């Protein structure tokens, strides 16, 4: 079996490279053949996976959610099995499966090559595997990504950025079409589309989402004061925020979001553009090594 490892040496404050050093040693001791590519810049994982991924039975990422996002966009449509060894700051997609960080256990999981089919989500010019967010959370994600200090703090850095950006953030009107049904919301702060549960290092924004059920969960926060948002914010770590009167949860397969004022968008933590944007679930579109 041909295996390709795509390693982001900068992920997790350099921890990904340490993980790879340990994992590769275990594989060599087991006489396992593999190829490895270390990325050097943003977008490289997509380009390399797209050009080379179809030559391998397995493509495995060692890095965080950003590297997962890039690599998925490179191999979408291929029959290649996709693996993740969590070594980033947030590792939100990996949290779904409680994968070990021990190199021996991770090597054994990869070699077993047990896979399940999971859904992806198609946007206008890319796919994502975890969660996309629009509005305030994308502003926070962008601020966190651009700050070395905040990025190193993980979930705490996200919380710090929330407090920093909330005072000047402006809510707006949003129209959301879900499977042909139209919803109107005033004073919207954020909209999240979840194929999975969490982002930002464990914030369970769409706690009932399931990347194997062929549907997407939409979380809309609107008409809430900023003071009340600060009070409710800690509940996002347990998913209890969904019971708040200013939080609306919707499920569907095809979604179109339009806002009066452009909202910044992130997908799997990577900034992708601004609204309007469309989302469509692609059921069972990638084989994930579990």
* From 103-107, 188-192, 268-272, the region with the lowest mean pLDDT: 103-107
Phi-psi sector, 284: left (phi>0), alpha (psi -120 to 50), beta: left
Per residue in 188-212, pLDDT (tens digit) is: 999 999 999 999 889 999 999 999 9
Domains belonging to the chain, first-starting first, are 3-113 (3.40.50.10330), 127-280 (2.60.200.40)
Per residue in 8-41, pLDDT (tens digit) is: 999 988 889 999 999 999 999 999 999 999 999 9
Q: Average model confidence (pLDDT) for the chain?
A: 95
Task: Specify the residue for token string 């590519």.
Answer: 37
Give yes or no for residue 142 having a pLDDT over 70: yes
- Give the pLDDT band (50/70/90) at residue 150: confident
| pLDDT score of 162 | 85
Tell me the C-alpha to C-alpha distance, in Å, between residue 65 and each of 95, 130, 231, 266.
Answer: 11, 8, 28, 12
| pLDDT score of 270 | 94
Length of the chain, in residues: 290
Give yes or no for residue 158 having a pLDDT over 90: no
Q: Which of 22, 25, 80 is nearest to 48 (CA)?
A: 80
- Name the residue with higher pLDDT: 100 or 36: 36
Give yes or no for residue 149 having a pLDDT over 80: no
Rounded to whole angstroms, how far apart are CA atoms 68 and 83?
A: 9
Task: Specify the residue for token string 């992806």.
Answer: 120
Q: What is the mean pLDDT of residues 148-160?
A: 75
* From 40-49, 79-88, 141-150, 221-230, the region with the lowest mean pLDDT: 141-150
Q: Which of 262, 249, 248, 247 is nearest to 174 (CA)?
A: 262
- Residue 135: strand pairing partners: 190
Instruction: Calculate the CA 13 to chain-centre distance.
Output: 18
**Could you tell me if 226 and 160 are in contact, meaning their C-beta atoms sit under 8 angstroms apart?**
no
Give yes or no for residue 143 having a pLDDT over 80: yes
* From 21-35, 156-170, 203-217, 238-252, the region with the lowest mean pLDDT: 156-170
* From 98-102, 131-135, 169-173, the region with the lowest mean pLDDT: 98-102
Give yes or no for residue 154 having a pLDDT over 70: no
Percent of the chain with pLDDT over 90: 86
Parallel, antiparallel, or unpaired for β 58-63 and 3-7?
Answer: parallel
Nearest 10 degrees: Cα torsion 246, 269, 194, 198: -80
Burial of 1 (0-12, 13-18, 19+ CB in 10 A): exposed
Q: Which of 164, 19, 145, 9 is nearest to 90 (CA)?
A: 145
Per residue in 62-91, pLDDT (tens digit) is: 999 999 999 999 999 999 999 999 998 889
User: HSE (CB half, 13 Å, CA atoms) of 239?
Assistant: 13
Give yes or no for residue 180 having a pLDDT over 80: yes
Rounded to whole angstroms, how far apart are CA atoms 32 and 26?
A: 9
Tell me the C-alpha to C-alpha distance, in Å, between residue 144 and each of 43, 88, 153, 169, 228.
Answer: 18, 14, 9, 15, 23
pTM of the model: 0.93
Rounded to whole angstroms, how far apart are CA atoms 250 and 248?
A: 7
């Amino acid at each position: 079996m041909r295996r390709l490892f795509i390693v982001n040496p900068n992920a997790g404050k350099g921890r990904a490279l340490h993980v790879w050093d340990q994992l590769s040693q275990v594989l060599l001791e087991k006489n396992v053949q593999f190829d490895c590519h270390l990325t050097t810049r943003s977008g490289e994982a997509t380009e390399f996976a797209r050009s080379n991924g179809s030559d391998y039975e397995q493509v495995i990422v060692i890095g965080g959610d950003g590297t997962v996002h890039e690599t998925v966009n490179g191999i979408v449509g291929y029959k290649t099995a996709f693996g993740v060894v969590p070594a980033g700051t947030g590792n939100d997609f990996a949290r779904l499966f409680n994968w070990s960080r021990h190199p021996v256990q991770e090597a054994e999981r990869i070699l077993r090559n047990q896979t399940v089919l999971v859904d992806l989500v198609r946007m206008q010019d890319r796919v994502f595997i975890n969660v996309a967010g629009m509005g305030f959370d994308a502003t926070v994600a962008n601020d966190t990504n651009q700050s070395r200090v905040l990025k190193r703090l993980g979930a705490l850095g996200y919380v710090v950025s929330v407090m920093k950006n909330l005072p000047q953030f402006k809510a707006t009107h949003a129209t959301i079409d879900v499977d042909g049904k139209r919803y109107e919301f005033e004073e919207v702060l954020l909209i999240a589309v979840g194929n999975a549960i969490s982002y930002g290092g464990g914030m369970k924004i769409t706690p009932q989402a399931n990347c194997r059920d062929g549907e997407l969960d939409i979380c809309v926060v609107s008409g809430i004061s900023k003071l009340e948002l600060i009070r409710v914010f800690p509940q996002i770590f347990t998913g209890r925020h969904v019971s708040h009167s200013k939080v609306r949860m919707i499920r569907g397969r095809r979604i179109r979001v339009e806002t009066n004022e452009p909202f910044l968008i992130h997908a799997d933590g990577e900034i992708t553009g601004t609204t309007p944007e469309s989302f469509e679930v692609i059921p069972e579109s990638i084989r994930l090594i579990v």
